[in-house]
Amino acid sequence: MPPASRTTSSARPMRADARRNYDRILAAAAAAVAEHGAEASLEEIARRAGVGSATLHRHFPSRQQLLEAVFREKVETLCATAADLATGPDPRTALATWLRAVARHAVSNRGLAASLMRGAHDGDTTLGATCHTMITEAGANLLARAREANAARPDVSITDLLTLVNAICLAVEQEPDGQAQADRLLTLALTGVHPAGETN
Amino acid sequence: MPPASRTTSSARPMRADARRNYDRILAAAAAAVAEHGAEASLEEIARRAGVGSATLHRHFPSRQQLLEAVFREKVETLCATAADLATGPDPRTALATWLRAVARHAVSNRGLAASLMRGAHDGDTTLGATCHTMITEAGANLLARAREANAARPDVSITDLLTLVNAICLAVEQEPDGQAQADRLLTLALTGVHPAGETN
DNA sequence: GTACGATATGGAGGGCCACCCCGTTTTTGC
DNA sequence: GCAAAAACGGGGTGGCCCTCCATATCGTAC
């Protein structure tokens, strides 16, 4: 949702050129982030988008905000997935499946994990839901159901789980076989290092 | 082990002034890293050490090498701890205790986790054991014993465990209560998110 | 279709950084 | 002491992030 699409009520709609540049920057950012991860050079993004660096900074005052815009769609997908899974019969599997989905997205979209972690507490609490809060809320529901079904320790928070998932993804992000690694480590964390836990 | 202390056999010993600067840089780096984490400015380190930036780069061609030198002592401590614990009666507790010790060090020494993760595969395979390989070898022993005692899944590698620990530490490094967070998440990973595992 | 105010732009510049070149200084072995 | 070897560090290059402000563009009311 760009800041002032025509559906928005309050603020005046964006000027056409502003809107065009906004979209260009977003596209360039997506490409750059896919290529270089969350630390991609903002100047290069501006260059690729064919705009001045000032324009980029005006539209996205912080790197975090740019990343959030880039990933918003993916995050919404994950939230939708969570809602879907919440209607299933097995809360335990639902939670595990969802966390795996989060991991898959985070690994295949470089920088997503970083974006999901650093949420509000970076001074970017501005308007609108951050990726962080969006995903947290989506997961909370799944976790609550799992807990009711006795499929999750009661002292575990959704923040804990997401931190764990993102930590893992961040750690394996630049390994060649990151996807497999992340999956294995996540399974490990879910079922425990020590044996005798159930086989998930 | 500075590159050419007088005990080393092969290479000529360092010149006195080089040696002095090497030590100064290391001290300054330790202070700066403690203050700003692994991303501390190399120029500031050189400035604090009272040397030119070129001198710093000559002694430590890469940031990674500087970090490794800074943390070598700590890492050696951890390796010694591993050796100690390996003689104890309970391999399961020994492994868990050691991993917790690693986490504690990583959290309280900003940048250590990052240094432990990026091991050889950063092009810094140069001479000598990196922190990464040192700690891996130290842990391998503990894990082997735990596995024999059936206290660790056989398909878990020491690399997996260390990746997990470091990922967690990296993720919580800048939280205010990082220590507690890391401890909790580590316990979680060791015993599993799903209940019914043993209580560690 | 034009004129005008609001809005958006981007190049230039400041501050910071990593890294390297090379003339100069220091140390060492004799 | 002396000369060769070793180490030094100032300053340059190029990159980055971010801001200022003179200029260009857009939307609209007429």
Which residues of A fall within a CB distance of 8 Å from B195? 150-153
Radius of gyration for chain A, computed over Cα atoms and rounded to the nearest angstrom: 19
pLDDT value at A34 more than 60: yes
The whole-chain average pLDDT of chain A stands at 87
- pTM assigned to the model: 0.86
Pairwise CA distance, residues A119 & A129, whole Å: 10
Higher pLDDT among residues A22 and B108, named by residue = A22
Task: For residue A160, count other CB atoms closer than 10 A to its CB.
Answer: 17
Question: Taking the C-alpha atoms of B118, A163, B141 and A178 in order, what is their torsion angle to the nearest 10 degrees?
Answer: -50
Task: Read off the DSSP letter of residue B193.
Answer: S
Does the CB of A166 have a partner CB in chain B at under 8 Å?
yes
Distance from C-alpha of B92 to C-alpha of B58, rounded to nearest angstrom: 45
Q: What type of residue is B15? A: R
Q: Which two tokens stand for residue A25?
A: 């920057």
Which of the residue ranges B24-38, B54-68, B91-105, B129-143 would you say has the lowest mean pLDDT? B129-143
Question: CB of B64 within 8 A of CB of B116?
Answer: no
- The reply to whether residue B189 touches residue A193, judged by beta carbons under 8 angstroms, is yes
Q: Give the pLDDT band of residue A10 (cuts 50, 70, 90).
A: low
| Strand D contacted by A144 CB (< 7 A) | no
Among B193, B199, B200, most A C-beta atoms within 10 A, so best to mutate, is: B193
SS3 A197: coil
> CB of B86 within 8 Å of any CB in chain A?
no
Q: What is the structure's pLDDT at B120?
A: 54
> Given CB atoms, is B32 within the 8 Å cutoff of chain A?
no
Residues 2-21 of A with CB under 7 A from strand D: 15-17
Which DSSP letter does residue A63 get?
Answer: H
Calculate the angstrom distance between C1' of C18 and CA of B53.
Answer: 9
Residue of B nearest to A167 (CA): B167
Note the pLDDT of residue B35: 92
Q: Please, which residues have CB within 8 angstroms of residue B191's CB and are 6 or more apart in sequence?
A: A192, A193, A194, A197, B197, B198, B199, B200
Q: Give the range among A71-80, A116-125, A129-138 with minimum mean pLDDT.
A: A116-125
Q: Are B3 and B69 in contact (CB under 8 A)?
A: no
Task: Annotate B123-175 with DSSP letters as a single string.
Answer: T---SS--HHHHHHHHHHHHHHHHHHTT-S-TT--HHHHHHHHHHHHHHHTTS
pLDDT reported for residue B200: 38
Q: Which of A191, A177, A182 is nearest to A96 (CA)?
A: A191
Q: What is the pLDDT of residues B31-62, one digit of tens each?
A: 999 999 999 999 999 999 999 999 999 999 99
Contact, B50 CB vs strand D, < 7 Å: yes
Q: What confidence category does residue B196 fall into, taking pLDDT thresholds of 50, 70 and 90?
A: low
> Considering only A41-55, A123-137, B43-57, B99-113, which range has the smallest mean pLDDT?
A123-137
Is the predicted pLDDT of residue B5 greater than 80, yes or no? no
Check whether B195 has a pLDDT greater than 90. no
Integer Cα distance of B3 and B8 in angstroms: 8
Comparing alpha-carbon positions, the chain A residue that sits nearest to B91 is A194
Question: ∠B19-B24-B29 over CA atoms, to 5°?
Answer: 125
Residues of B in contact with A168 (CB under 8 A): 163-164, 167
* Mean pLDDT, rounded, for B136-144: 94
Is any atom of strand D within 7 angstroms of residue B184's beta carbon? no
Does A123 contact B at CB distance below 8 Å? no
| DSSP structure class, residue A155 | T
Minimum mean pLDDT among A43-52, A184-193, B21-30: which range?
Answer: A184-193
Mean pLDDT of B159-163: 93
Is the distance between the Cβ of A198 and the closest atom of strand D smaller than 7 Å? no
**Mean pLDDT score, B143-167:** 93
Q: Determine the pLDDT at residue A145.
A: 94
Greater confidence (B173 vs A84) lies with A84
For A145-149, B75-79, B153-157, B172-176, which range has the lowest pLDDT when averaged over its residues?
B172-176
Q: At what angle do helices B63-86 and B16-36 cross, to 10 degrees?
A: 80
Q: Which residue is nearest to nucleotide C27 (CA to C1')?
A: B15
Confidence of residue B124 (pLDDT cuts 50, 70, 90): very low
Above 90 in pLDDT, residue A162? yes
Q: Does A143 touch chain B (CB under 8 A)?
A: no
Rounded average pLDDT over A47-72: 96
3-state secondary structure string across A90-101: CHHHHHHHHHHH
